[in-house]
Amino acid sequence: MVGQISIRNVRKEFANQDVSKESIVALNDFSLDIEPGSFISLIGPSGCGKSTLLRLIGGLDTPSSGEIILDGKKILKPGSDRGFAFQGSNLFPWLTVEKNIAFGLKARHIYKSTKKDVQDFIDLIGLNGFEKAYPHQLSGGMNQRASLARALVGHPKVLLLDEPLGALDAFTRMNLQDEILEIWKKHNMTMIMVTHDVDEAIYMSDKVVVMSARPSKVEAVIDIDLPRPRARAQDTFQLYRSKILDILNLGGDIEDIEYNI
């Protein structure tokens, strides 16, 4: 099984725009082990460094200290072993859906041998008939689907999802959540998703990592011990939600809830 990630004592500082002020510490002494093939959600207050962590795993930024190790190798730069689905869709507007999805394969000069994968992923995400369409001709949901396909088509070991469904309406969102779970089940990769949506995190993940405010640490790791496929209206689902909201100090003033989970 591949896709094992160890985050070891990672610290990430950003230089302040205003030089006289101190630099901003986004992450401090952050450690986390992620099992191969698991689905992890990162949740936490706004600006707590969730996206920073994802970018570090993606290799788009490097840690100020500490290290992130993927299958025994230190992550230094972006690579096609880690797919990245960005906030919003960010398809290349000058390429058709088909060519957007094929972009990575062509960039790595493996398109000839993997041509079939492009069509397979178009089928998988249900964009048949839209192969030759440009991004501006598609709905937000379709854009997001194509963007996922683009990140997935190179068969990465790890898929990093930065609020992939944030801009979508509730129904499209729920549909896509199920589709992402389908893909995950089928391709068996490690999934790491940043989200603001507690329900989404509980519905989709094996583990929800609750992060503290900046400089961010792991506040709690909650195992979601629910059978799949999950039902959004389950009672235990609600209990997980209260527990997470409580850790985030958003639970309100309900005292002494007994958690039996």
Partner 1 sequence: MKKYIIMIKLILPVLAVLLSVAAYYGLEDSGKQKTTEHPYYVYLLLIVLALYLLFAIVSIFVKKIRERLVYKAPLAAGTIAFIMFLNTIITKTTLLPTLYFPSLDRIIGLLYEQRLFLLENVLSSLGLLITGFAWGASIGFLTGLALGYNKKVGYWLNPVTKIIGPIPTTAWIPLALSVFPTTHAANVFLIAFAVWFPVTLMTSSGIQSTSQVHFEVSSTLGASTLYKIIHVAIPSAMPSIFLGIFYGTVSSFATLMAVEMNGNSSGIGWYINWQKQVMMYDGVYAGLIIIAILCSLILTLLFKVRDRVLVWQKGVIKW
Site residues, partner 1 (CB under 8 A): 58-60, 77-80, 82-84, 86, 88, 90, 92-95, 103-104, 106-108, 134-136, 150-151, 154
Task: Please state the closest distance from residue 115 (CB atom) to partner 1, in A.
Answer: 16
Q: Which is nearer to partner 1, 165 or 222 (CB)?
A: 165
Q: Which is nearer to partner 1, 80 or 119 (CB)?
A: 80
Q: Which is nearer to partner 1, 49 or 154 (CB)?
A: 154
Q: Which is nearer to partner 1, 106 or 232 (CB)?
A: 106
Task: Please state the closest distance from residue 107 (CB atom) to partner 1, in A.
Answer: 4
* Residue 148 CA, distance from chain mean position: 11
> Is the Cβ–Cβ distance between 156 and 191 less than 8 Å?
no
For residue 186, count other CB atoms closer than 10 A to its CB. Answer: 9
d(C-alpha 123, C-alpha 132), whole Å: 14
Q: What is the DSSP letter of 105?
A: H
Task: Please state the closest distance from residue 110 (CB atom) to partner 1, in A.
Answer: 9
Task: Please state the closest distance from residue 215 (CB atom) to partner 1, in A.
Answer: 24
Task: Please state the closest distance from residue 116 (CB atom) to partner 1, in A.
Answer: 18
Structure tokens, 177: 């959540």
Closest by CA position to 78, among listed 88, 86, 66? 86
For the chain, where are the alpha helices, taking DSSP H only? 50-58, 97-107, 111-124, 140-152, 170-187, 198-204, 235-247
Q: Which is nearer to partner 1, 79 or 215 (CB)?
A: 79
Provide the b/e sequence for 39-51 (b: ≥16 CB within 10 Å). Answer: bbbbbbbeebbbb
- The tokens 């990672």 sit on which residue? 10
Q: Which is nearer to partner 1, 110 or 213 (CB)?
A: 110
User: Residue 254: which region, alpha, beta or left (left: phi > 0; alpha: psi -120 to 50)?
Assistant: beta
Q: Which is nearer to partner 1, 94 or 259 (CB)?
A: 94
Task: Please state the closest distance from residue 16 (CB atom) to partner 1, in A.
Answer: 20
For residue 123, count other CB atoms closer than 10 A to its CB. Answer: 11
d(C-alpha 209, C-alpha 244), whole Å: 10
Task: Please state the closest distance from residue 164 (CB atom) to partner 1, in A.
Answer: 13
- The tokens 């398809």 sit on which residue? 91
